[in-house]
Copies of this chain bind each other. A is one copy, B any other.
Amino acid sequence: MHTADPFLFQLFFIFVWAKLFGEAFERMRLPAVLGEILAGVLLGPYGARLVVPTDAIYAIAGIGAIFLLFTVGLETQPKDLISVGRTSLYVALAGIAAPFLFGVTYMLLRHHPTHEAVFVAAAMVATSVGITARVLGDMNLLQTVSARIILGAAVFDDVLGMIVLAVVVGLVSSTGLEWAQLLITAIEAIGFALIMMFYAPRVVKRMEPGMERMSTQDAPLIIAMAICLGLSYAAVKIGMAAIIGAFFAGLAFAEYSPRWNLRSRVFSINEFLAPFFFFSMGARMNMGVFDSKLLVSAIVISLLAIVSKLVGCGLPVLHSGWRTALKVGIGMVPRGEVGLIVALVGLQMNIVSESAYALVIFMTGITTLVAPPIMKLAFRDEAVNEPALTERRSTAM
């Protein structure tokens, strides 16, 4: 429309540049998401200032985050959680606990406020298994024991990451660090997760005949989207982050996702919205904050993020030999959108400072860049010399 002139320009500009950077990164076998973020860093208000996203763009980015986490939820099949076995559960649990503890400890030692320390640590916990799956897929190793443990653990990892975020947001929203409050929030979050995983799918199942009688085409997609928006709003209302609601809405529909073709349809929406989210994420990163002190912190946090996953995820499988432990550990190292969104939530709540936000983006980039070459070394003994012909981007990332 005529009045939407700068808005239209920003839509066009951001979409094109985010996708171009994404394509360039893909060609270098790097995740497109990092390229889209880099586009925001370089072209945004702290970079070349070619575009300063308006509130409308940030609003669209927010919807992008909601749909992104909705997709992550859709890809997490509750029945997989039961079938992947105890090893994966232990790997996921220890792989969540170790980075959180390492992160909180370091941030407190560096005299960051407790709330900020907790948020940065929470941003360090969630693995983004997309890159790992891709590397293993390219090497034809998705059927190995280590790969199965990693992919199984990744399912728990997302759910646990969301619970950690819910607890952290609930915690900082309350007056102080009270243990009773912490316990209640944790029980609430775990209860919410369990209900959405095991009870909600039954409700969805009962809705099915009704949906097929509806006159509106695409009733399942529309109802899923309505519930996603509703739970996002409800999550904010009860003091969680919107994306937690979106993720759990995805969980509730995960079982029916293939049947109703939900994933691919929501994926089309993501193709449009997600670039605005990742670009905005980069546009919010002030490169100017990187003095030598912060750079040291960033490197230490990145190392802690790597070591903590190696240790946390490796220990539960150490009985199978150090090589397996290394494989599983390194496979769980890459962080992704969940951690980034945690940092963004903190930034928007004015709990995470600009420099801590930059720290998390730096850490995400490093873990993503470092893992693939080490994985190739670690998995060398199992490598099959066949041409790669595999599923790429098996998760949202």
Contact = CB atoms under 8 A, between A and B. Distances in A.
A226 B16 contact: yes
Q: Oligomeric state, in number of copies?
A: 2
Interface in A211-245: 214-218, 221-222, 225-226, 229-230, 232-233, 236, 241-243
Max chain B Cβ within 10 angstroms of own Cβ: one of A2, A217, A241, A265: A2
Contacts of A62: 1, 4, 7-8
Interface in A98-141: none
A41 B344 CA distance: 36
Contacts of A65: 1
A265 B265 CA distance: 7
Contact of A393 (B217, B266, B269, B348): B217
Contacts of A60: 59-60, 63
A271 to B, nearest CB: 6
A55 to B, nearest CB: 7
Contact of A217 (B56, B215, B392): B392
Contacts of A230: 12, 16
Interface stretch (A20-28, A86-94, A194-202): A20-28
B59 A226 contact: no
Contact of A232 (B12, B216, B266, B268): B12
A322 interface: no
Interface residues of A, number: 54
A292 B243 CA distance: 50
Contacts of A296: none
A291 interface: no
Contact of A23 (B214, B232, B241): B214
A5 interface: yes
Contacts of A12: 226, 229-230, 232-233
A229 B23 contact: no
A290 interface: no
16 contacts: A1-B62, A1-B243, A1-B344, A2-B349, A5-B236, A7-B59, A8-B233, A12-B233, A15-B226, A19-B226, A26-B215, A59-B60, A221-B268, A221-B271, A225-B272, A268-B268
Given A26-B215, A27-B215, 9 more contacts: A1-B236, A8-B242, A11-B63, A12-B232, A19-B216, A19-B222, A26-B216, A59-B59, A265-B268
